[in-house]
Each structure stands twice: as C-alpha cells, then as structure tokens.
Amino acid sequence: MHDDVIADAGKFANDYLAPNAQAWEMNRSMPREMFVAAAGFDLCGLLAPVSQGGREITFSSFIDVVRILAKADFAATFALIVHNNHVRAIASAGSEVQVSRWLPDMIKGQKVGAFLLTEPGGGSDATALKTTASSDGSDFLITGEKAWVTNGTHADLLNVFAQTDPGSGARGIASFQIPIDATGVEPLPAYDMLGGYAMNAAGFRFSDVRVAADQVLVPAGKGFAAAMAGIDIARTVVAAMCCGLLETSLECVMPRLQDRQAFGKPLIEQQGLSWQAADVGTDLAAARLLAKEAARLIDAGESAVLAAAHAKKFATRVAFDGVSTCMQAMGADGLKQEFPFSRALAAAKIAHYIDGTTEIQNVVIARGMRRTYSEF
C-alpha cells in the first residue's frame, strides 16, 4: 500500500502539479479541476477507511505523500491536505447518514471541503470564537465570520466551528457541516497575498444560517478537542511539506554548484558554498526526523502535541533559511521564474502562519517544558 500510494503521488506531482504550478501562481488561482485530477490518482481520501472508498494509509505514509507533492507545489498540496482532513473528519466522526451524504463525492474530488476555525481579529486564540450557533428548536442558527479559509473559493462543504454557549470557552465549541449554497452563507473575496495562490484562501460570513441537527459533526464538549487533534496532524503535515521545499531547492542548486566554475574550480569546491549546502542538508535531515516522530506518535494514538510543535517550528524556520540560501547560491538566476525559488520562498514564509504561528509553537513547547522540568 505504501509503495503504491507513493508511486501515485509521484506521478501526480510530476505529470500534473509541476507543469501547472507556476501558471497557477502567476494567474493567482488554481482551478477546482485539481481535485478531480487528484482523485484520479486516489489522492482525495488518503486517510479514510477502504470500506468508505478511501485509501486508509497510515499517517507516516501520509507525510511521505505530502512531502512529495509539496516538492512540486506547496500551495496546491496544502489545498489537497485540507480537503483530505475534512474527509478524514467525516469518516471518523460522522454518522452513517453523514458519511453516505458527503464522502462519495468528496473522495471523487467532485465536492471540495474546507476547515473554518480562524476568525478575523481572533488571532491564535481558538477558544474565543465569536461565531455562534444558537438553538432554534432542533435546529441551529449560525452567525459570524471566518477568515483564512483554504479552498475558500472552491469549497462545496464547510466544516464550521462555532460557539453554542457564549462564555463557556472550549466547552461550548461544536462543528457543523454547511453546504456552500445554504441560505445566509456569503463567500468573501479571495485574499491578495505574497504568494501561495493555489490555496485559494478567502473568508466567509454567516447570517442566521439554519442547520439541522444531523449537520452537527462534533457536538459541544468535543468540538474543540477535535479541532486541536486536527491541528496536531496539520502541523506535522506542514513540517513534512517544508521538507519538500528544501528537497526541491537542493535538487535545483546542487547540479549548478557541481557544473559551474568560478576562480578555476567548481562552485561546490568553494568552501563557503559547499558548507552552506551542507547546512541545508543537515537541516533537512533533522526536519524529516522530527516530522516522522510526530507522525509515529499520531499513528500510535499517543499525544503528538509537543512533537508536532517541535516539528513545525523547526521545519518552517529551516525551510525559509534553506530556500533563501539555495536561491542565493544560484546567483541572479535564482530570481528567474523558470526556477521554483520565488514560489518556494513565499511558501516557506506562509508555512510560518498556517496551523499556528511559530510563536504559538513556542507557547506549546514552553508549556510542555514547564511540565517536564517541574519534576527536577
């Protein structure tokens, strides 16, 4: 299974993502057909059970897949990951009715999923949601606004986290499945960003959107924990994607360092450049190990909160520095759009923000360290 999915990911990356990545960035949009194309390689239900039409790979295999895809296009890969995580959420927490209603089309790439937790002005405090879900008989009325929604311009089904009991913090948070065409759902314009346009990031506004009880995916009391479990997975995934950025950067620059000469010898024999490349190689090796450890814990059903924070913090930091180093070693050619460095550099910066900023990883890590070292 692992070898098959890795082969499919490699073919999809080489045949579809790589040839289109630069055009998507220049056009500031990725077509929704990407999801159908990905489904053609069975890449839209990677974490869902085989019995539900998914591929049911381990999380350790999943991070290998996303690393391969991110080498071709970080932003499109993240869009596909968000979709896969939505499929996983329905597969693991959904009722039989919810699974049969939504999963078949999502696994075929015909309906696109999105995760809506972040809010304008809310920053990193995910417990302080202002989007409310007010009871109205057996139904709920959803009102509020969400920001930084990956797949925002293509989504058909929204996984919306809302507060059912204002003032109760995490205890009142639940998640709701809302079709994009529901009355009161207002898609907002896509963001004009530094790069990463294949993410199709945008916002949504909800005005008394009526949802039935059977659209509740995770009820109050469990919703916040479900969101955080998804965040640990997402942080580990981002770390693996950053490894893909470093790999593609090294694959571009190393032939240049070996083939091009300066001052009578190949660039790779110039100590300054060779040592810089060696540092990037070491950072890549370390980042891969951190991501693998977090994935191992997730597969084992153990807490990966700290491991995921370590992995994301380190990988995002070394990805930005490593891409920049490789770009510099290319000389002025590194500025040309025929090479992936501009997209990779933007992606490496974006990685610092998605699924918790570097500063939030430090909060998580410091909290864990306080518990560890309080025993001494």
Token duo for residue 154: 């293509």
Q: What is the CATH number of the domain that holds 147?
A: 2.40.110.10
Give mean pLDDT, residues 334-357: 88
Residue 264 banded pLDDT, cuts 50, 70, 90 = low
Q: What is the CATH number of the domain that holds 59?
A: 1.10.540.10
Query: Nearest CA to 82 among 101, 96, 66, 60?
Result: 66
Cβ-based neighbours of 80, under 8 Å, separated by 6 or more? 34, 35, 38, 43, 44, 69
Give mean pLDDT, residues 310-333: 90
What single-letter DSSP state applies at residue 156? S
3-state helix, strand, coil in the chain (%, to 5): 60, 15, 30
Q: Are residues 253 and 320 in the same domain?
A: yes
Domain that holds residue 98: 2-111
Give the number of domains in the chain.
Answer: 3
Amino acid at 354: I
Q: Which of 221, 238, 256 is the endpoint of a domain?
A: 221
Q: Are residues 319 and 273 in the same domain?
A: yes
Average pLDDT taken over every residue of the chain: 91
Using CA atoms, how far apart are residues 363 and 371, in angstroms rounded to an integer?
13
pLDDT at 257 over 80: no
Quote the pTM value: 0.91
Dihedral, 130, 134, 139, 141 alpha carbons, nearest 10? -50
Q: Are residues 367 and 259 in the same domain?
A: yes
pLDDT at 186 over 80: yes
| pLDDT at residue 230 in the model | 80
Helix (H, G, I), strand (E, B) or coil at 330: coil
pLDDT in tens, 23-42: 999 999 999 999 999 999 99
pLDDT at 2 over 80: no
Lowest pLDDT segment from 181-195, 269-283, 362-376: 269-283
